[in-house]
Amino acid sequence: YLDEGEYNVSVYLAGQKDRPIINQMVDISSQQIFTVATTGNLDNLGLLVIPDKVSKSPSQSYSSLRVIHLSPNAPGVDILVDGDKLFEDISFEEGTDYVDLNPGTYNVNVVLNTDKSIVLPLKVTLNPDKIYTIYIMGNPPTLQAVQVVDGNTYACR
């Protein structure tokens, strides 16, 4: 836990400690949960502060999911879940609201909204009582996804 205030965040290349590639102030509000992501390409990096909605609570009846687009060279994307469009036109450094889904395993496709091509097929398992974020990263044609359990899953009980 951090006290409310401004913090200087420095990011270094792995193994280097002499010159940060990012040196940025981040404002932290009280009673909030944040994820801080390094975004962009090496020649144009920045920090993105992503709030985890503290008003969102987990439920034994469903799973919650959102998607954050962190691929700097990808156009906007749509997210299909089992063939149905769940999210539309997510741009770089944008994210969706949380949606509630039945627990289970889903086929999730990240689709470029420019030509509707599937650029990242995923198999995603959602458990009850969990709030998830899927981060879309990398650059086309090599995109990756990281699925994490958000801090509000545990802190907002």
Percentages of the chain per state (helix, strand, coil), in multiples of 5: 5, 55, 40
Let me know if 74 is exposed, middle or buried by CB neighbors in 10 A (0-12, 13-18, 19+).
buried
Which residues does residue 90 pair with via DSSP β-bridges, in sequence order? Answer: 77
Domain spans in the chain, listed from the N-terminal domain onward: 5-155
CATH of 5-155, one of 2.60.40.1120, 2.60.15.10, 2.50.20.10, 3.50.50.60: 2.60.40.1120
Q: 124-157 burial, b if ≥16 CB within 10 A, otherwise e? A: bebeeebbbbbbbbbeeeebebeeeebbbbeebe
Determine the Cα–Cα distance for residues 111 and 136; give it in Å rounded to an integer.
11
Q: What pLDDT sits at residue 157?
A: 52
Q: What pLDDT sits at residue 151?
A: 83
Determine the Cα–Cα distance for residues 47 and 10; give it in Å rounded to an integer.
10
Specify the DSSP class assigned to residue 102. Answer: -
Gap between the terminal Cα atoms of the chain: 16
CB 45 within 8 A of CB 22: yes
Determine the Cα–Cα distance for residues 154 and 157; give it in Å rounded to an integer.
6
Q: Give me the tens of pLDDT residue by residue for the chain, a chain 157 residues long.
A: 678 999 999 999 999 999 999 999 999 888 888 888 999 998 889 999 998 887 788 899 999 999 999 999 999 999 999 999 999 999 999 999 999 999 999 999 999 988 999 999 999 999 999 999 999 999 888 899 999 998 888 775 5
Residue type, 13: L
